[in-house]
Amino acid sequence: MIVLKSEFTEPAVVVDRVSFSYNSLKVLDELTLQVPRGISFGLLGPNGAGKTTLIRLLVGLLRPKYGRILILGQTPSRKIAHLIGYMPQLHSLYIELSVMQNVDFFARIYHVTDRTERVQRVEQAIRLVDMWGRRNDAVQKLSSGMKQRVSLACAIVHNPPLLFLDEPTVGLDPELRVTFWEYFATLTKKGSTLIISSHTMDDAAHCDSLAFMRDGKIIAQGTPNDLRRATGSPGATLEDAFLYFVHSGKADNDD
């Protein structure tokens, strides 16, 4: 793996030589990664690179076969789950319930017990994703993009310091994608850490820092500018940078 210089310190996430396999299929191979606090961190790679498995390990849904994971200084468990927001790849919403009922339910299970505070936070989260006008509509009546927004509202309603967003922009129109990224930027300005998986380089450009993943490994890590510069060719895109690191990795392996 090639790690480029980072200006950030104090990790929110530490992944130390983690391996994971589904039966005989190795999905993560001695993966090592550190994510500083207060940034948006992109996990970029093609489908099957291991991004979703890594996120499921980080939120504690899976346990690593080998290696160690620390989230905000602790091993992933139920005890720190209230500090984490998780937006899975599926919408994962109760489709018969309204937007408001869904967000309210997640506020309750994430320990927002005070009624007045909960009402405020639910309204705030729904307004942030611009769904206040549809708050009483059943989720099953919403478009895919709207469901994505509701799913995000459910993940952020308890104001977690650390957010895991698995392909949050899939199915969104370009305008909404920009809105999402603007919102992610406001979260990091407030000190939250965002781990965002994606397979599109459009998303990558918005992240403060990136890790390129391929075949269960991280092949490069750094800021988008650093990664582009590392190719040595002026005007290189992130796509060029990804291909550069894929090929240089192959060359290393061949040697």
Partner 1 sequence: MTSQAFTIAGRVVRQLTRDRRTMALIFIVPVVVMTLIGLSFPQAGVLDYIAPALLATLALFFGFLLTGISFLRERSQGTLERLMASPLSRLDIVVGYLCGFFIFALAQTLIILLFTIYVLDVNYRGDLWQIFIFQVVVIIGAVNLGIFVSTFARNEFQMVQFIPLIILPQVFLCGVIWPVEQMPDYLQWLSVVLPLTYAVDGLRNIMLSGQSLMDVGLELAVLVGFTILISIIAAVTLRRGA
Residues that bind partner 1 (CB under 8 A): 56, 59-63, 78-79, 81-82, 84, 86, 88-97, 101, 105-106, 108-111, 113, 138, 154
With beta carbons less than 8 A apart as the criterion, state whether 204 and 237 touch. no
Residue 24 or 77 having the CB closest to partner 1: 77
Residue 33 or 71 having the CB closest to partner 1: 71
Q: Of 138, 236, 233, 127, whose CA–CA distance to 183 is shortest? A: 127
Q: Of 175, 228, 174, whose CA–CA distance to 204 is shortest? A: 228
Cα 17 to Cα 64, 76, 218, 223: the distances in Å are 10, 16, 11, 22
Residue 104 or 203 having the CB closest to partner 1: 104
Residue 161 has which token pair? Answer: 């310091």
Q: Residue 22 contacts by C-beta under 8 Å, 6 or more apart in sequence?
A: none
Amino acid at 42: G
- In the complex, least distance from residue 40 CB atom to partner 1, rounded to whole angstroms: 20
- In the complex, least distance from residue 82 CB atom to partner 1, rounded to whole angstroms: 5
With beta carbons less than 8 A apart as the criterion, state whether 205 and 224 touch. yes
- In the complex, least distance from residue 62 CB atom to partner 1, rounded to whole angstroms: 5
Backbone angles phi, psi at 57, to 5 degrees: -70, -40
- In the complex, least distance from residue 64 CB atom to partner 1, rounded to whole angstroms: 11
- Give CA–CA dist 139/187, Å, rounded: 25
Residue 92 or 124 having the CB closest to partner 1: 92
Q: E strands along 149-252, which residues?
A: 162-166, 193-198, 209-214, 217-222
Residue 155 or 241 having the CB closest to partner 1: 155
- In the complex, least distance from residue 236 CB atom to partner 1, rounded to whole angstroms: 37
Q: Three-state SS across 220-233?
A: EEECHHHHHHCCCC
Residue 59 or 126 having the CB closest to partner 1: 59
Amino acid at 180: F
- Give CA–CA dist 127/149, Å, rounded: 10
- In the complex, least distance from residue 99 CB atom to partner 1, rounded to whole angstroms: 13
Residue 138 or 246 having the CB closest to partner 1: 138
- In the complex, least distance from residue 138 CB atom to partner 1, rounded to whole angstroms: 7
